[in-house]
Structure 1
Amino acid sequence: MSIEKLKKMVSESDNIVFFGGAGTSTESNIPDFRTADTGLYNMDGYKYPPEVILSHSFFMKYPEEFYKFYKSKMIYKDAKPNLAHKALAELERKNKLKAVITQNIDGLHQLAKSNNVLELHGSIYRNYCMKCSESYSLDYVINSEGIVPKCNKCGGIIKPDVVLYEEGLDIDVLKKAIEYVSKADMLIVGGTSLVVYPAASLVEYYKGNKLILINKSATPYDHMANLVIHDSIGKVLNGVL
């Protein structure tokens, strides 16, 4: 019933924006941070919790420990787009969806052929030398001789272009995201618990009356939504096509 209602709302909208988090990619077998049994917070073998390892200060102080964790837990190169990614790309192709705003760094929206993707937290596919700013591919990082990839031009340490804890979001990307959300006639929020700020506060810029929240668990913004669906995001989004 809820999916039918959403389908009708989508059919009546032509300026849809999607804002998604880790739950959008869990159906591609990429674990999120907070799932009790499978998330990154449920880990053995590491001295520090993920939010410490994935912080700017930890990266600067212990790049080897950072990269051990990053390469084993944050890169899922074989992951494929799921029904949610494909449905969003199809809605864009139909000229209904204007932008995908994502907190994920896995590049799956682009693999599904979404064109207008705003990556709030960066991407594993972009990497750069901290010393000379030379760009490097994900393959270069994965296949580097040492654990810590080094620039082949100046020898500097290569950093993934992802937003670590203690780092600010890219202001230009954030401004674009706010602009899309504030002009949208429909905002679909999916696969995010809406507890990571400042990203979660994007919802507050939406001015319309078609706020849809799709998440398996409740969020702090459920009371603001016009429709809340606690179900598989792939199943729900595929159902509106």
Structure 2
Amino acid sequence: MDSMEKLRDIIKNSDNIVFFGGAGVSTESNIPDFRSEAGLYNTKNNYSYPPEVMLSHSFFCEHPEDFFEFYKAKMIYKDAKPNEAHYALAKLENMGKLKAVITQNIDGLHQEAGSKSVIELHGSVHRNYCMNCGKFFNLDYVLNSKDTIPKCDYCGGKVKPDVVLYEEALDMEAINKAVYYVKNADVLIIGGTSLAVYPAANLVNYYRGNSLILINKSFTPYDNRASLVINNKIGEVLGSIVKELK
């Protein structure tokens, strides 16, 4: 039995699956990842600072104009559409097999594909809030702002994307929910992530089951702990399997 057949059987026979995904889930929607050869961190840009600096909390506070210029140009992909991976996961949830999607992505494509139980560890570009009064705004408000730094239409405060920047802590409510689902999962599928970003990558250590599935184009530090490793595109893998499920 090959790896695809094994994965098909595991999914077919389980109704307690949790999926944990990273940037590789959205690369098939033409959203660049961060650490691959063609990723954001390894491509030349015309900015005076490296991406890791420009996406930090201190840079946001000290250079908000430069932050928003970079953020709008490199982190927003408004025309991106869900791919086979997003739709496959939404279908598995609709079939009662998938209990939750835990994502490191901020693009909102899981929800657009139809997933309802989505835990966003790093926030979402679709949520933005006034740092003064707390009023929330959608993505269009930020993109269409006449000011370089979006301002609140109620109090005039600075509007910040509800995404986790470097130097910022992850939302503990999201972390606790993710830990709960991982701990109680029969099957944990991890896809499109190198498992190199902490503390999110530490979630795998809470898994207590014996069906750890890793789907990623390259090696991860957890490959030797997995019951099944598939080195391929996550959309192609899940898409082909879900089509065969009734």
TM tier, shorter chain?
A: over 0.9
- Structure 2: gaps spanning 5 or more residues: none
Using the size of structure 1 for normalisation, the TM-score is 0.98
User: Does the aligned pair in 1 maintain the 2:119–2:174 contact within 8 Å?
Assistant: yes
Q: Deviations over 1:122-145 (max 9, x none)?
A: 000000000111111100000000
SS of 1:240's equivalent?
Answer: helix
> What is the identity, as a one-letter code, of the residue corresponding to 1:24?
V
1:43 Cα deviation (Å)? 2.4
How high is the sequence identity, in percent, across the aligned residues? 64
Residue 82 in structure 1 maps to residue 75 in structure 2: no
After superposition, the CA RMSD in angstroms is: 0.8
SS of 2:125's equivalent?
Answer: strand
With 151-160 and 181-190 compared, the bigger mean Cα shift is at 151-160
With 97-106 and 34-43 compared, the bigger mean Cα shift is at 34-43
State the distance in 2 between where 1:223 and 1:50 align. 32
Using the size of structure 2 for normalisation, the TM-score is 0.96
1:154 Cα deviation (Å)? 1.2
Q: Which residue of 2 aligns with 1:55?
A: 56
Residue 113 in structure 1 maps to residue 114 in structure 2: yes
User: Does the aligned pair in 2 maintain the 1:41–1:50 contact within 8 Å?
Assistant: no
Structure 2 counterparts to residues 13-32 of structure 1, below 5 A: 13-32=14-33
- Structure 1: gaps spanning 5 or more residues: none
Q: Which residue of 2 aligns with 1:162?
A: 163
Residues 174 and 38 (structure 1 numbering): CA distance in 2 closer, same or farther, change over 3 Å?
closer
1:182 Cα deviation (Å)? 0.3
Structure 2 counterparts to residues 171-182 of structure 1, below 5 A: 171-182=172-183
> What is the identity, as a one-letter code, of the residue corresponding to 1:149?
P
State the distance in 1 between where 2:149 and 2:55 align. 15
User: Does the aligned pair in 2 maintain the 1:7–1:239 contact within 8 Å?
Assistant: no
The alignment covers a number of residue pairs equal to 241
Residue 98 in structure 1 maps to residue 99 in structure 2: yes
1:37 Cα deviation (Å)? 2.7
Structure 2 counterparts to residues 208-227 of structure 1, below 5 A: 208-227=209-228
